[in-house]
Structure 1
């Protein structure tokens, strides 16, 4: 029974986390630029583990019963996603080849950490998926099954973020060309704006 719940957690958690969103898009960009990749991966995994655990423990019901909390998260998330979409669009209009030499200036660690935390926690869809949806389904598992379900979902997130962050290096030859960055930044801008608008649909 516990193993079945574990597999359910892997399946559902994996299907939700693989969907392209702001968190995945930012992690991919940082991985391609090779800037604080392990830090970004760790933040993504830790945030998912905490949120999944909180959802299974019952926090999902609290969010459902406090719509005003979700509303202000939506407002903040909309502003952040729209602003980052503008940044990505500006980069798409003025692309540059990926530079890996010592003269390449990169953002400091605190800036990257703040951005990764924002993408991980300011998107209301994260709470709806990990806390409410996974929490409600995990909570329905009999006995200790809900914790095995949570472990499965956490494992799926760990595998996905690690694969995305560490596997992006194999795309480096493609992104040595400015046009590749133009396309990627254009796609990221569209993702950010689409997610921002979808918060109020």
Structure 2
């Protein structure tokens, strides 16, 4: 295994997903609530792995030839972010949160994964980052496979660190008011991302 290719892929992958976005905010919230953390983190990481593999395998050339695929994802992403953002803002003023009792799960796994699907696959930036950018950068690696493994490793490391590391902030969210503030911040973030996506 070429160590430099692995490190290059890992650092590129990490730099692309470390910024606060809708997907990361959702993973953080699931981590705080301790709801389906493993499956949510696994879904995000595996989704990234599939997209990175496709990008390194040359799918970036396909999206460059058929840009309408990204346009469709853009429209769907804007609508999804708007809906979730408004829902979070509503929850910030109408819902009284409390942390779940240890071992008790409030939301269904199916709902969590459907939301995760929306944040991941309806985000056109994920296609630009993984299919196009990672795919293009990988062409300069001596081993595309090693580069891809590095980028995929970064996704697994980041999402599981974010999901399970969120418990360090758990004492802060012992009060319902803290959840209302988080909902408001998440809602505003989603609306901003929807506007930014619409403008891009």
Aligned mate of 2:150, from 141, 149, 152:
152
TM-score, normalization: structure 1?
Answer: 0.93
Q: Deviations over 1:54-96 (max 9, x none)?
A: 0000111111111111111111111111000011111122352
Distance (whole Å) between structure 1 residues aligned to residue 116 and residue 60 of structure 2:
23
Q: Which residue in the other structure is 1:99 paired with?
A: 99
Distance (whole Å) between structure 1 residues aligned to residue 29 and residue 177 of structure 2:
15
Q: Any gaps of 5 or more consecutive residues in structure 1?
A: none
- Deviation of the 1:179 alpha carbon: 2.5
- Deviation of the 1:178 alpha carbon: 2.1
Q: Which residue in the other structure is 1:182 paired with?
A: 180
Distance (whole Å) between structure 2 residues aligned to residue 51 and residue 70 of structure 1:
14
Distance 1:10 1:32, change over 3 A: same
Asked if residue 67 in structure 1 is aligned to residue 46 in structure 2, the reply is: no
- Deviation of the 1:139 alpha carbon: 2.2
Residue 200 of structure 1 aligns to a residue in which SS?
Answer: helix
Residue 191 of structure 1 aligns to a residue in which SS?
Answer: helix
Asked if residue 85 in structure 1 is aligned to residue 85 in structure 2, the reply is: yes
- Deviation of the 1:105 alpha carbon: 6.8
Residue 19 of structure 1 aligns to a residue in which SS?
Answer: coil
TM-score, normalization: structure 2?
Answer: 0.93
Distance (whole Å) between structure 1 residues aligned to residue 27 and residue 135 of structure 2:
25
Residue 20 of structure 1 aligns to a residue in which SS?
Answer: coil
Q: Which residue in the other structure is 2:31 paired with?
A: 31
Residue 198 of structure 2 aligns to a residue in which SS?
Answer: coil
Runs of 4+ in structure 1 over 3 Å off: none
Contact 1:138/1:149 (8 A) holds in 2: yes
Contact 1:32/1:172 (8 A) holds in 2: yes
Q: Which residue in the other structure is 1:200 paired with?
A: 198
Residue 199 of structure 1 aligns to a residue in which SS?
Answer: helix
Contact 2:100/2:106 (8 A) holds in 1: no
RMSD across aligned positions (CA): 1.8
Distance (whole Å) between structure 1 residues aligned to residue 139 and residue 43 of structure 2:
25
Structure 1, 179-188 or 26-35: larger mean CA deviation:
179-188
